[in-house]
Amino acid sequence: ELPERASIIEVGPRDGLQNERNFVETAAKIEFIKKLKKAGFQEMELTSFVSPKWVPQMKDSEEILASCLDATRNFVLTPNERGIQRLLETSCRNTAVFVGVSDTFNQKNINKTTAESLDELKPLIRDLKNKGYFVRACISTAFYCPYEGKVDEQDVLAVCEKFEEFGVDELSVADTIGMATPKEVFELFSLLKHRLRSATLLTAHFHDTRGLGLANIFSALQAGVNRFDASAGGLGGCPFAPGASGNVATEDVLHMLSSMGIQTGIQMEPLLEAVDYISRHVAKPIESRQYRLARNA
């Protein structure tokens, strides 16, 4: 049975832009976020507190937060202690930590093994929870790793259970390189729904590399998931995951959900206007179906 409502967490300003080769001016990022907010998103990843040497595109994150925080749930990504120190110096009260299930990916992405990252994050997350922060944990390479291949479901469950023990509010489970099939999605999310606490929000994060993003969202819905990360215009990808293309496009997800009668609170036309705007600031053409149909592109 399908839910009546689902939440879309817009990740375009972060996942969508982090892989853009040319620097997108800070003012353009801020305008993009403001336009997205007009579409009604209540949850959005705005930027990342990562090393500007590793991801130069995210070097303006303090400025982004200074202009874009409001009463909705705005996330900044933090991979480590330095990232969380930077968070504590802002008035942002929501963060997304991120760890890969596969060691090789985690090493390439944040220069630590999975276990080292978990050990580092444990006291930091506990402290954030004591201070009343909302903590989301993004679980990368939950299906396939670009370096190690197929990832074991039990390893994903073990990482998710650790984060639950640390006290996170949400787990966003990701197909980082867009290789998962709807069958694998149904199996993994059914297992997680069954084994994790019902109070932990469970979110699915798909990249559309092989065109299976929407099918995977439908499979996750059938497994009982009603929260989805998506990126306006289908932009995105992780710079340290070769072969990853953009996230499933928010406008395509919105179209599918609303056509099936599932409410999201997001409006299509303002969303497409945000995509119009950012399309002029990125090198990649916008490939989402809904954008092309609406704009005859």
Catalytic site positions: 238
Interaction between residue 176 and ligand HMG (CB under 6 A): yes
- Dist CA 18 CA 20 (whole Å): 6
Interaction between residue 109 and ligand HMG (CB under 6 A): yes
- Dist CA 65 CA 24 (whole Å): 16
Residue in the block written with tokens 């370096």: 147
Interaction between residue 21 and ligand HMG (CB under 6 A): no
Closest C-alpha to 35, from 251, 213, 278: 278
Neighbours of 235 (CB within 10 A): 28
How is residue 70 written in tokens?
A: 């409001």
Which one of 26, 51, 90, 200 is in contact with ligand HMG (CB under 6 A)? 51
CB under 6 A: which stretch of 65-73, 75-83, 124-132, 265-273 binds ligand HMG?
A: 75-83
Burial of 184 (0-12, 13-18, 19+ CB in 10 A): buried
| Minimum distance of ligand HMG from residue 4's CB (angstroms) | 27
Contacts (CB under 6 A) with ligand HMG, residues 203-262: 205, 207, 238, 240
CA 144 to chain centre: 17
| Minimum distance of ligand HMG from residue 229's CB (angstroms) | 8
Residue 117 binding: pick among Mg ion, ligand HMG, none (C-beta 5-8 Å cut-off by kind): none
Interaction between residue 189 and ligand HMG (CB under 6 A): no
- Which residues share a beta bridge with 247? 207
- State how beta strands 94-100 and 73-77 pair: parallel
3-state SS class at 284:
coil
| Minimum distance of ligand HMG from residue 92's CB (angstroms) | 14
- Dist CA 250 CA 248 (whole Å): 6
| Minimum distance of ligand HMG from residue 272's CB (angstroms) | 23
Residue 16 binding: pick among Mg ion, ligand HMG, none (C-beta 5-8 Å cut-off by kind): none
How is residue 62 written in tokens?
A: 């303090």
Interaction between residue 20 and ligand HMG (CB under 6 A): no
CA 227 to chain centre: 11
Of 77 and 256, which CB lies nearer to ligand HMG in the complex structure? 77
HSE-CB of 163 using CA atoms within 13 angstroms:
29
CA 193 to each of CA 77, 153, 199: distance values in angstroms, whole numbers, following the listed order: 24, 13, 11
Contacts (CB under 5 A) with Mg ion, residues 8-67: 15
Residue 35 binding: pick among ligand HMG, Mg ion, none (C-beta 5-8 Å cut-off by kind): none
Of 124 and 238, which CB lies nearer to Mg ion in the complex structure? 238
| Minimum distance of ligand HMG from residue 84's CB (angstroms) | 8
Residue 231 binding: pick among Mg ion, ligand HMG, none (C-beta 5-8 Å cut-off by kind): none
Which residues contact ligand HMG by CB under 6 A? Answer: 15, 18, 48-51, 54-55, 79-80, 82-83, 86, 98, 109-111, 138, 140, 174, 176, 205, 207, 238, 240
Residue numbers at the binding site for Mg ion (CB under 5 A): 15
